[in-house]
Structure formats: structure tokens, C-alpha cells
């Protein structure tokens, strides 16, 4: 009677061991897929640029080679505006960028953004210092302030947007 009990225990142990090995193999396969980036869903998401309805994001680039963030925007407003600030940030905070935007109005120039026209917002940022890797998809946020020329700088407005794109 004692030998029969041990044979049942051995059969149960072999049954559980077989399932344990199958479970270990499945974990190793999942780990290998994660290591090689197959399970990274951001690879399958399309590039996008979201901004308010006042403006249209026509094109954009996160260029680590030339240290630039460029956004080609179209104004859907019916009035002429002037951009006063342009900042770029990530989820970790504001980037230290040099704005090279030609639209900032000075008394000697008339660089205003007219309705229905396109402009390029430029910022020179060292994207590699914040961990952006060429070929990877990254997300940045941008904000710019503007005012309508009819109303003046006292009535400034701010627009925020985000870009999810592959770093070049």
C-alpha cells in the first residue's frame, strides 16, 4: 500500500514538472521578444503632430543630427498675428533650446504671420543630451504664445501641441 501512494505522488510531481518547464520556456520566449523590441508598441504607432484647431501642423522634424526641432505650421485664424514665445519640452521638463524663429516682430521688421500662410517654428536643441536616440520614436510638447495685431500684446494667447515622431 505504501508503494502505491508513492507512485501516485511521483505521477503528480512529473505532471507538475512538465507544466513548470513549459511555463519557463514561455517566459524565456516572452523575455527574448521584449529584449529585441518586438513587444514595443510605439514602433507600430504612426508619427503625429497635434495642435489646436487654430493652427494646422503641416510637417515636423526631430533632427538629432542638426540639433533641431522644426514645425511647419499653417494659421487657420482670420487675423494677422505675432508670435512672442516658443518653447519645447519633454515629459521630463523644458528643453534648453535656442529659438531661431524669424517671426518675432521687431520695430524694424514686419515679420507677421498672415492668415492662411505657413511658417516654420525652429528651435535648436541638443536632443541627445535628454536621451533621444536616432531611429527611436519620441514625444515632445511645444507651446507658443501669440497676439492679434488688432488687439495688441495685452491680449496674448497660448497654444500647446505635441509631436510623436521618429528622431532622425
Write the CATH number for 76. Answer: 2.60.40
Q: What is the DSSP letter of 130?
A: G
Q: Is 105 in the same domain as 152?
A: yes
Give 88-100 pLDDT, tens digit per residue.
Answer: 888 876 677 776 5
Average pLDDT value over all residues in the chain: 82
Three-class DSSP labels, 12-65: HHHHHHHHHHHHHHHHHHHHHHHHCCCCCHHHHCCCEEEECCCEEEEEEEEECC
- Please give the tally of structural domains in the chain: 2
* pLDDT per position as a tens digit, 34-91: 888 777 777 778 889 999 889 999 999 988 888 888 899 999 988 988 888 888 888 8
Which pLDDT does position 5 carry in this prediction?
Answer: 64
Name residue, grid cell 495642435. 51
Domain that holds residue 35: 2-39
pTM of the model: 0.70
121 and 153 housed in the same domain? yes
The count of other CB atoms within 10 Å of the CB of residue 60 is: 22
Amino acid at each position: 500500500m505504501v508503494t502505491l501512494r508513492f507512485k501516485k505522488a511521483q505521477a503528480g510531481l512529473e505532471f507538475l514538472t512538465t507544466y513548470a518547464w513549459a511555463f519557463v520556456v514561455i517566459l524565456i520566449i516572452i523575455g527574448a521578444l521584449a529584449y529585441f523590441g518586438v513587444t514595443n508598441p510605439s514602433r507600430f504607432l504612426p508619427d503625429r503632430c497635434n495642435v489646436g484647431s487654430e493652427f494646422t501642423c503641416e510637417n515636423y522634424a526631430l533632427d538629432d543630427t542638426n540639433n533641431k526641432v522644426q514645425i511647419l505650421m499653417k494659421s487657420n485664424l482670420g487675423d494677422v498675428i505675432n508670435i512672442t514665445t516658443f518653447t519645447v519640452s519633454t515629459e521630463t521638463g523644458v528643453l534648453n533650446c535656442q529659438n531661431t524663429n524669424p517671426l518675432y516682430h521687431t520695430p524694424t521688421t514686419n515679420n507677421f504671420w498672415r492668415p492662411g500662410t505657413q511658417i516654420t517654428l525652429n528651435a535648436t536643441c541638443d536632443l541627445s543630451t535628454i536621451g533621444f536616440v536616432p531611429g527611436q520614436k519620441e514625444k515632445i510638447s511645444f507651446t507658443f504664445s501669440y497676439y492679434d495685431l488688432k488687439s495688441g500684446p495685452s491680449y496674448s494667447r497660448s497654444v500647446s501641441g505635441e509631436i510623436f515622431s521618429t528622431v532622425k
